[in-house]
Structure 1
C-alpha cells in the first residue's frame, strides 16, 4: 500500500466518523501514533451509539440514498454511475448531495437508455475512489433509507472494501416493507409512487429518485405516527411482526 493510498484511507475513516474537515487535516499529519488509533476507535464506538433505538423517528436524521449502476452485482464488475442523497429530519430536507461517477468500463447501451447517462456525461466526472471521499461523510450522519436499499448498500460495502479496506456498518432501512406495513404491498418504487400520487419526472436518475423518495418518506413518517409507531425500536418491532 503506497503512502497516498494510506493517506486517503485515513482521511475517509475520519470523515466517515463525522470529524470536521479542519480537524481531519490536523489529525492527518505525519505522526500517526497508537494514541490516535485508540482515539479513532473510541470515536467509532461513540458514533455507533449516537442514534438510540428509543429515539423518536421525527428526531432521527435519515439519509435518503440512491445509486444508478450498470447492473446488480458489484462482485461481477458492475459499476456505479451516479450517487445521490438527501439528509432529512422529520421529513424535511437539510442537505443534498449528487455526483456522477466516471466508470472504468463503457456504459452498456441499455443502461444509458434507462438512466440517460452517456459516456459524454461522465467524461469529466470524478472516478469512484474520489467521489467516495465526499459521499461517505455525507451519508454517514444518519440512518440510510431507500426503496430496495439493499442494492445500494451492497455496492457501498463492496466499493468501500475494494478501494479502502473499510467496512460499512451503518444502519439502514428499506422503505418497501414499511409501505407494506402502513398501506399495502408495493413491490417497486414505481408502484409506491403511484399509490401515493407522487410524480417522479426524472425516474431512474439518482437525484430524481431521491427527490421522489423524500416525499414518500415524509408521508410514511406521518402514517407511522398514526399507527403509534414512534421510535426506531417501535419500527423494527412492527416490521418483524409484519
Structure 2
C-alpha cells in the first residue's frame, strides 16, 4: 500500500489559519458558585490581524463589593442598566463561534462562562481553550520576568495596551502576549494547532525538529520502525493509526525519557501496513525478536524463555530447559526467567515427593536429608520402586496437563499445617510459588492444543462491515484477510487458506514465539470470534490449571504480579503538560 498525502490538513491546522478569540472577564468575586460576571471583553484575531472586538458590561444582579469596584473601576451604577447574563452570554457565544478561546489563567474565565451557561440553560459549544499563562510558564524564564502575571508579560512583549482590570483592555493586552508566545514556539518548530496543543517544555527541540518524520505515513493499522542513519532498527511499535501514533513521539504525549534519545538518533520511520490489528501485533513481536531494537523493552527476551519438564529416565525429576519440549513429555511454560521457573519447581516439591537430586539413578546410592524429613520416597536407596514412584510422577503430570485439583488439595493441606504452626510467612511463600506453578500450567494447557492443531480458521465481524479472517497453523499466524461488506466470506476463506504460510513443526522448536501464540489465543478467545474450520482438537481439561488459577488469583490480588509475557503499559500524559485543552 502506498501512502499518499492528499492535503496539508493531514499535517494539522497551521496556526496562521486558526481563529482565536481572546477573552477576559471581570466579576464580583472568585467563585462562580456565588459570584456574577460584571464585564466581558473579547478580541477576535487570525493570522496576526484583529477581526473584531466585543465588549459589554453585565448586571450581576447583586451588589459589587467595594474592593472589587476599587480594583476594576466598575460600580453598581455603571451596571444598573447593563444587560443580564441571560442576554450577554448568547451574544458573546455568537461572537466566539468557530474559534479557539484564549485567556490568561483560562481556568478562571472558562469556569465562570460555563457556570453562566449552565444557569441560563445556554448550550456550551465545547471550545478548544488555550491558556497563555500555562504557555508562558514553558517559554518565559525567571530571568526575563519575576512572575507570569499578565502585566509582567505585557511589558516583556511590548503590548500596545496596558492591562488595568477592565475586560477589553486586558483582552487586548493578552492578544499581544499571545502573538509573542506563538512567535517563540514557532521558532521551536511548533507550526500547527495540534502541535501547540501538545506543546510542553519537556519536549526537546530535537523532538520538534524531527516531527517531519511522521509526514507521509499512512492513517492505517500496522507496525512502524524507527531506524537510524545506517538503517539499524531503533524501535518497533504498533498502532491502529500509524501516522497519528508516530506524531505523538514529537509531542508532550510522549513522556518516556528513553524515547527522546531514540528520536534524536532516528533518521526515518518505516511503516508496515497490516490488514488487521492482530496481524500488526504479531508482526511487532516478530520484528522485535528479529532486530532486538535497543529502545524496545518488551519481547526482546523472548528467546530467553525457559520451560520446566519431567526428564526421561526411570525416576524422572524436574528440569529447566531452554527449548520447548516437542516430544509429548509433560512440561509447563514458558517462564520469563530461570528464577520464576524455579519457584514453580519448588511448588511441586512442596506438595509432591519427587526426587530433587540431579544425578541419574542406575543403582543404590546414598540418601539425602529429604528422605529423613519425608520430602522424598528414597528411590536412590531402593525404598521406592519404579511403580510407586510412577504414581508420584503421574500426579505431577496431572498438574501440568490434566486434573490439577488433587494438587490444589495438597496445597490447601500444606497451608493449613503451616498456619497451625504459625509459620505465616512460610505459608505465603508456598502459596505464591504454587501460583507461579498454576499460572505456567494454565498457560501451557491453553497453548498446547493450538500449537498442536495443523490449521484453524476463525472470523470476526469487521468494524466497517464484512469479516476479519485469521488462519492459524500450529500456533503461528499463517495469514489474515478482510472480506468486504456484502461479499461471500467463504470465497475469501478459501483464498486465505490457499495463500497462507506453510507451517511445519520442527523437532525441538515451536513454529512460533510463545508471545505470538498467546496473542493469537487471546484474539480467538474473544466472545465475538467464530471458528470457521478446525483441523485438530482445541480443548482444555475441565479440572485443569485454568480453573485452579481462577480460584487462587483473588487470594494474591494484593501481591506483586509476575507480568510474564504481558504487554508493557504507556503512561498517559498528564493534563498539566499542555496549555491547550478541550473545554467541554
- Give the TM-score, by structure 1 length: 0.73
Distance in 1, matches of 2:124 and 2:78, equals 30
Contact 1:103 1:128 in 2 (8 A): yes
Contact 2:12 2:194 in 1 (8 A): yes
Is the alpha carbon distance of 1:59 and 1:199 closer, same or farther for their aligned partners in structure 2, counting shifts above 3 Å? Answer: closer
Counterpart in the other structure of 2:127: 170
User: For each residue in 1:69-105, what CA deviation from the matched residue of structure 2 results, as whole angstroms up to 9, or x when unmatched?
Assistant: 1111111x11100001111002211011000001111
Deviation at 1:164, TM superposition (A): 1.0
Could you tell me which of 180, 202, 213 is aligned with 2:137? 180
Between structures 1 and 2, the one with greater helix share: 1
Counterpart in the other structure of 2:153: 192
Aligned ranges 1:56-95 → 2 under 5 Å = 56-75=14-33, 77-95=34-52
| Structure number with larger C-alpha Rg | 2
**SS at 1:193 equivalent:** helix
Structure 2 unaligned regions, length at least 5: 1-8, 201-251, 256-576, 578-584
Deviation at 1:182, TM superposition (A): 2.5
Aligned ranges 1:1-242 → 2 under 5 Å = 54-75=12-33, 77-164=34-121, 166-184=123-141, 186-198=147-159, 200-239=161-200, 240=252
Deviation at 1:141, TM superposition (A): 2.4
Contact 2:133 2:149 in 1 (8 A): yes
Structure 1 unaligned regions, length at least 5: 1-50
Deviation at 1:62, TM superposition (A): 0.6
Distance in 1, matches of 2:150 and 2:11, equals 27
Number of residue-to-residue matches in the alignment: 191
User: For each residue in 1:95-134, what CA deviation from the matched residue of structure 2 results, as whole angstroms up to 9, or x when unmatched?
Assistant: 1100000111110000000000011111111011011121
Distance in 2, matches of 1:74 and 1:237, equals 29
- Give the TM-score, by structure 2 length: 0.31
**SS at 2:29 equivalent:** coil
User: For each residue in 1:35-77, what CA deviation from the matched residue of structure 2 results, as whole angstroms up to 9, or x when unmatched?
Assistant: xxxxxxxxxxxxxxxx9981011110011000001111111x1
Contact 2:154 2:162 in 1 (8 A): no
RCO higher in structure (CA 8 A, sep ≥6): 1
Q: Which piece of structure 1 moves more, 180-189 or 127-136?
A: 180-189
